[in-house]
Structure 1
C-alpha cells in the first residue's frame, strides 16, 4: 500500500466570474521514503493540489470530487477533527514565503514550541528542548539564543530553516515543500536543498517537492509530475522525464533550463501565456502555445498513454509517432 494515494482529484474555486477548475483529475501515489516532484508554471495547479491534500483551501475553494488516502484512510470529507490529527503530525507543509508564515509578534522559540505542544503530548520544558534540538538539526547557530529572537532578526535563509524545523518537529511521514527556495539567492537555495536531502535520508520521510525549477527536480526527485492548467500532462521517473520527455510542454520547460551546453546561446522560452482557467479550450490546454500542435490537438483532449512501465504522457504527438509513416489519420 502506498503512503499517499490521490485519485481523480478535482478542486475548484467558485468565484463571481464562474467556476475555476484549478485541479482537474489529478492522480498519483507516493511511497514511503520517496521524493515526488510536481513541476509547472505559476497557475498550473501545483500548490492547490498540496492545499487539497492538507485541506487548507481558501473560502472559495472546494474539493469537488476524488479521493485522497493516507495509509488507506480517506481524508476527503473526513472532517476537521480527523484533519487536525493529520496536519503537522503525519503530513507537514513548508510554505513559499517564510516571512508571511511566521508571526512577527512572537519569538521563534514560542512559535516552535506552540507547534510541538499542539501536536504532541510533551510538556513545556520538553517542548523547549525539542525546539532547540530541531534548530540544531537545521543548522541554526546558537539555537538557545535564537529561541528568544523574532522573525525580523533572521535572514531569509534562516527563516526558511526555522519553517523546516517547525514542519519536522513532530516527525511527519510526509513533508510537502511548496516552492521552499523561491525567494532565496542561489547559494542559500543550494544549502536549503542539501539540508532537506540530508534530513530526508536521516528521518526516512517522503517529500512532495513543488517547484517551477527543473534543476531542483533533477537534484532531488525520484518521480516527477508535470502539470499544466490543472491537469497532469506527463508523469514518470526523473530519468524518464529528463532523458525522454514525451509532452511538448515538458520539452519546452527543459529547453528553458540554463546549462553549460547552451551557454552563450539565447534560451528558448515557451511562447504565449498560461491558459485562462475560466475559458478552457476544447482540446489540449497547451495547444494554443504549442509549435507542434496538430488539428486534433485543438478539438480533442488526449488521454494519458503509457510510454513505458513507469512513464505516461497525454500528448497527440505520441499517437502520431505510433502511426505508420509518422502520420495520424484525422
Structure 2
C-alpha cells in the first residue's frame, strides 16, 4: 500500500488522524516518501524562522531565546535560566502594576494582578537556547473609560510585555534616544527599576543577550533583539538612578487628556503648568465626571536623579474632586 502523505503540520486534527492510522496498523508501511519527508522538514525549518503563519490562540505566547557564547552548545546553566525566568516574571508584573497606576515600592503586588500577568513555561525550542512562555488562559474584562472610543486594544500582560520590549528596542538605539529610554523607564517607578536591574545584571554576568518574539491572542507578532550592549545600557541606567522620598502636593486646575490603558491624566494648573500624572485603576471611573472641568487634586511627587545629575519628576493622583 502506498504511504499516506504526512499532512500539513498546522492541521493538528489531520496530524492526530495520521498518527492514529499509524498506531492502528491501517498503514502497511512505516515509510514516508522522500518528497513527504523533505516537505515536512521544510515546514519545520520555516516554523523555526517564523515564516509559517501561526494559528491564533486564546493564550498569548512569548518565545525567548538566550543568545551568546554561553549557549553555543544549545544549553544553559539551570541556575542562570531559573534566575532569568524569575527576574523576567517580576519585571513584567511590576511594569503591569505601574501601567495600572498602582505601583508600590515595598508592598506586595496584588494577587489578582499577578494572575493577569503570570507566564507559564511551555516548551523549549531549537535556538542558542529557547523557551516558550504562555500568558494567562483568560483575561478579566476591563471597563471602558470612554466607551464611545471603543474597547481597549491590549490586555494587561500585552501592555506590560510591549513596554518591556519598548525598553529593549530603545536601548539598542543608544546615544540620541537615551532621553526616550529614560522617559519610558522612570515613570514605571522604583520597583520596576529594581527588577529590571536584577534581570539585566544576571544577563551581563552570564554574557547573554535575548531574542524575543511576542504573539498576541489576536495574532499580532512583535520581535525584538537585545544585544549585550543594549542590556548593559539598561543596567547602567537602573544602577545609577536614585529615587527620592515621595512628597505630596495640592493643585487646582483643569482636567484635560486621559489615557485609558496607561491610567494617566493631564491637569493644566491655574499657574498654567501642565502636569502628567498616573492614576490608579479604581479611580478611572470618576474621570468621565470631571473631564474638561476644574478639579482639585492631591498628588504624590517623586523625583529621580540619574546619569549626569539629570532629574525627572513623577506625579501620581491620590485624590480627585471638583474645584
User: TM-score w.r.t. structure 1 length?
Assistant: 0.25
Structure number with higher relative contact order (C-alpha < 8 Å, ≥ 6 residues apart): 1
Going by fraction, where is helix more abundant, 1 or 2?
2
Greater C-alpha radius of gyration: 2
